[in-house]
Amino acid sequence: MAHVDSSDSLFRRLEQLNEIGASLSKERDIGRLLEQILLAAKTITHADGGTLYRTTENGAALRFEIIRTDSLKIAMGGSSGVPINFPEVPLQSNDGSHNDSMVAAYAAIHDRTVNISDAYAAEGFDFSGTRKFDAKTGYRSQSFLTVPMKNHEGEIIGVLQLINAIDPETAQVIPFSAADQGLAESLASQAAIALTNRLLITQLEELFEAFINMINLAIDEKSPYTGGHCQRVPDLTMMIAEAVNETSEGPLAKFVMTEKDRYELKIAGLLHDCGKVTTPVHVVDKATKLQTIYDRIELVDTRFEVLKRDAEIEALRKQLALRPRTDIEADAHIWQDCMEQIRSIEDDRDFLREANIGGEAMTPAAQQRVRDIGELRRWRNTQGVESSFLTANELENLTIRAGTLTQGERDIINHHIVATIKMLEQLPWPTHLKNVPEYAGGHHERMDGKGYPKGLTRDQMSLQARMMGIADIFEALTARDRPYKEGMKLSKAMSIMANFKKNGHIDPDLFDVFVAKGLHQRYGEKYLNPAQLDEVDVGSL
């Protein structure tokens, strides 16, 4: 006989059902959610075992997700770590008819709960597999309660099957009661809603992340020199965050991250340079000082060729002026002067080519030589007018002290962070992502307030924004895909970072964790060339 609940017992189980429903709605991980659903159903109905099936993506079959049988100590799927290798249960037979012989399939096909007191005495269903299992294990599968799970749109998304109700007083296997069935159906309904909501949220999150990756892909397609940056900075930021989260001593010992915190920081990292979609490609990709759409050093080279030809023509004219008489000594002197002019021209040409490459520092003397060449050398332009050898724009570019960008171009590059903040602040962020604009928008600020765009100080910034600042700088120093420099060795990059710590550029406590946890080495092994992975004297930092 089925166990009859007292009113007190039923009331307690109803309260338990409400508590279960509340806990299911809070679970974010789908695997844990499915496991909670089955365990809750087993608990509330006093079932010894159970299986949770989910409908396959094409709706043609049921897939085993979680299996539990307490008396046999069987735990498969979910947190057990034991994979389920059972074949899917088809909802149709080979001839296209309904697969009504399998009780789980029947419940799903007909949206009907099936309550069987004794599987060995039941008619109309195929329990041959169950009998084989019992014969092999010595188990006795008796009572079955199979409940379809239906979402808010009326679609069957799974099946909850419970096996062998246990009488709490006698510990004997009994049929599932009407109260058990009602509670299981209520739980299945709540579980279906919780699962559907979680799946919808997961799909939206996946869509959102795909959209972010699409933005980064657009940046990548614009410039191969920044696409990798958009992926590496978030990764390094999360490395730093996890390292701080694991720190139990020092000024950052109280920092703790939840899963929501991790997700928020991850999204901020992925979006930290989204404003670069507004940055002109010719500035981002500027590999040399005179590069715009193309490298204008070729134009300068052409002018040098003109000067050389002019020098040769002038020498030949002077030699012709000696004719018809022959003056070998005067001829030789004229040609020697010509060759000296050409050597001087070629020397200046080689110098400007070298200056055009850019580097970490250009001396004042070298800058002045560029100005002298540009202003003192004269050439006849295509209109035949004598002009300065270099234009004002060319002079400005070729005298750039470090790198390949003029101040104006640096301002254009720096504007990407302003664009990032504007773009992100216009989005209707949900509560759990409300800090994304601040995290993403602060990675160019400095601890001493000399950063941009807002000139924030350390105390005005979140720890997460400061983490991203360190990640952004370290990635830029070591990146091996920039058009204007080779990837820096770890030792040099860490030395520069240590100076940044001392001069108020980066957060000193975060950098100490960065060093202590060996993040430079972990990051280097993952992203850098082997030639960059030299020995770092951690003690000197």
Residue 213 lies in a domain: no
- Tell me the CATH number at 482: 1.10.3210.10
Give every CB contact of residue 373 below 8 A, 6+ residues apart in sequence: 348, 351, 352, 389, 390
Domain boundary among 166, 201, 236: 201
H or E stretch covering 47 = strand 47-55
Q: Residue 311 falls within a domain, yes or no?
A: yes
Helices 519-527 and 508-516 pack at an angle, to 10 degrees, of 70
Residue 45 is inside which H or E element, if any? helix 30-45
Residue 349 lies in a domain: yes
Q: Are 467 and 362 in a shared domain?
A: no
* CATH code of the domain covering residue 143: 3.30.450.40
Instruction: Give the CA diameter of the chain.
Output: 137
pLDDT at 470: 96
Confirm whether pTM is higher than 0.85: no
Range of the domain at 446: 223-277+415-540
For residues 399 and 426, membership in a common domain is answered with: no
367 shares a domain with 229:
no
What per-residue confidence (pLDDT) applies to 328?
Answer: 84
Q: Which three-class secondary structure state does DSSP give residue 113?
A: coil
Of 404, 433, 462, which marks where a domain is finished? Answer: 404
List Cβ<8 Å contacts ≥24 apart for 175-178. Answer: 175/1, 175/2, 175/115, 175/117, 175/118, 175/143, 176/2, 176/45, 176/47, 176/115, 176/143, 176/144, 176/145, 177/2, 177/3, 177/4, 177/5, 178/2
DSSP string covering 302-348: HHHHHHHHHHHHHHHHHHHHTTTS--HHHHHHHHHHHHHHHHHHHHH
Residue 395 lies in a domain: yes
Together in a domain, 388 and 444? no
Residue 286 belongs to some domain of the structure:
no
What is the reported pLDDT for 24? 61
| Residue 270 φ/ψ region, left for φ over 0, alpha for ψ in the -120 to 50 degree band, beta for the rest | alpha
The terminus-to-terminus CA distance of the chain in angstroms comes to 77
Domain count within the chain:
3
Report if residue 364 sits inside a domain: yes
Q: Give the pLDDT of the chain (541 residues) as one tens digit per residue.
A: 445 455 556 556 656 655 666 566 666 677 787 888 888 889 889 999 999 999 998 889 999 999 999 999 999 998 898 999 999 999 998 888 999 999 999 999 999 999 999 999 988 899 998 999 999 999 999 999 999 988 878 889 899 999 999 998 899 999 999 989 998 898 888 878 878 888 888 888 899 989 888 887 877 777 666 657 778 999 999 999 999 999 999 999 999 999 999 999 999 999 988 888 887 777 767 778 777 777 788 888 888 888 888 889 888 888 888 877 777 888 889 889 999 999 999 999 999 998 888 776 889 999 999 999 999 898 888 788 888 999 898 998 899 888 888 888 888 777 888 888 999 999 999 999 999 999 999 999 999 999 989 999 999 999 999 999 999 999 989 987 555 567 789 999 999 999 999 999 999 999 999 999 999 999 999 999 898 999 998 888 8
Residues 394 and 475 in one domain: no
Question: Are 304 and 445 in a shared domain?
Answer: no
pLDDT of residue 223: 67
Residue 221: what pLDDT? 72
Residue 212 lies inside a defined structural domain of this protein: no
What is residue 1's predicted lDDT score, i.e. its pLDDT?
46
Do residue 120 and residue 99 come from a single domain?
Answer: yes
User: Quick one: 227 and 370 in the same domain?
Assistant: no
Residue 533 in domain: yes
Do 61 and 123 sit in the same domain of this protein? Answer: yes
* Domain boundary residue, one of 381, 404, 427: 404
What does the buried/exposed string (b/e) look like for 184-217 if buried means 16 or more CB atoms within 10 Å of the residue's CB? bbbbbbbbbbbbbebeeeeeeeeeeeeebeebbe
Residues 394 and 461 in one domain: no
Note whether 95 and 233 are same-domain residues: no
273 & 342 share domain: no
> Residue 322: phi, psi to the nearest 5?
-80, -20
